[in-house]
Amino acid sequence: DFVAIKKQFVIIGLGRFGGSVCKELIKQGHEVLAVDTDEHKVNDFAKFATHAVVANSTDEETLRSLGVRNFENVVVAIGDNIQASILTTLLLKELGVKNVLVKAKNDYHHKVLEKIGADHIVHPEKDMGRRVAQHLSDDKIIDFIELSDEYSIVELFATTKLAGKSLIDLNIRAKYGVTILAVKKGEKIDISPEPTYQIEREDLLIVIGNNQDIKRFEDQAM
């Protein structure tokens, strides 16, 4: 089995976002130092995090005494208090933390975080909203990864129209410019299927290509 290399993280702010990042990292086998000013939150996370401490991240001495500078990865998940989020990020970069990921609340917050050297800035609500809208507007697409503005990888269920045909018969790459990277059947996955592979209904096709080509493939072939 593939085991990820164990890493150490600090999560500052144990709201919905920070809390869910913390639980997932632990689930993946990593170590997490969880920090929040709220004692109740810290108590709740004592059983999930490797260590959970009550501390205020806007205080430089506190960050030093927690040894935060020894961590390569810190997540700043302070929700509403933009000032605290900015000051925390600034202190972390001054202490020399290599990789600081910050949750931004709005565009102004994002801009400031960029200026002070945040390494990754995320907008979970905005990103999730876009994903949900994309799912709602195209119900054939089960999941997708945007590689750039133009290219994506999408998961689509094969329709009866495709069933029984081989990849050669369908000539998908030449006709639509998209490539089938893999085919999933329940838990089983076939990476780079043979050209003679016959598609079955309910196969989950993992397709890579230009967004317009993917759309054309969906509209015309499916």
Element counts in the chain: helices (H) and strands (E): 9, 11
Going by the DSSP 8-state scheme, the letter that residue 143 receives in this structure is: E
Nearer to ligand ADP, 55 or 154 (CB): 55
Looking at residue 60, its amino acid is: E
Site for ligand ADP contains 13 (CB under 6 A): yes
Tell me which stretch binds ligand ADP (CB under 6 A): 26-34, 56-64, 134-142, 177-185.
56-64
Helix, strand, coil percentages for the chain (3-state, nearest 5): 40, 25, 35
Kindly give, in sequence order, each residue whose CB lies less than 8 Å from that of residue 53, ignoring residues fewer than 6 positions away.
Answer: 33, 34, 35, 42, 66
Out of 50, 81, 179, 210, name the contact with ligand ADP by CB under 6 A.
81
CA nearest to 58, candidates 49, 48, 68 = 68
Report the residue number, 20 or 211, with the smaller CB distance to ligand ADP.
Answer: 20
Cβ-closest residue to ligand ADP? 79
Residues 18-37 binding ligand ADP (CB under 6 A) are 18, 35-37
Task: Give the footprint of ligand ADP on residues 158-197 (CB under 6 A).
Answer: none
Could you say whether residue 104 binds ligand ADP (CB under 6 A)?
A: no
Q: Which residues are CB-contacts of 37 (< 8 A; sequence separation ≥ 6)?
A: 54, 55, 56, 57
57 near ligand ADP, judged by CB under 6 A: yes
- Taking contact as CB under 6 A, which single stretch among the options 7-15, 26-34, 109-117, 145-153 is the one that binds ligand ADP? 7-15
Tell me if 62 contacts ligand ADP by CB under 6 A: no
113 binds ligand ADP (CB under 6 A): no
Residue with smaller CB distance to ligand ADP, 15 or 177 = 15
| H or E stretch at 216 | helix 211-216
Which one among 25, 58, 180, 193 touches ligand ADP, defined by CB under 6 A?
58
Produce one character per residue of 186-202: b if its CB has 16 or more CB atoms within 10 Å, e if not.
eeeeeeebeeebebeee
The binding site for ligand ADP (CB under 6 A) comprises 12-18, 35-38, 41, 56-58, 77-81, 84
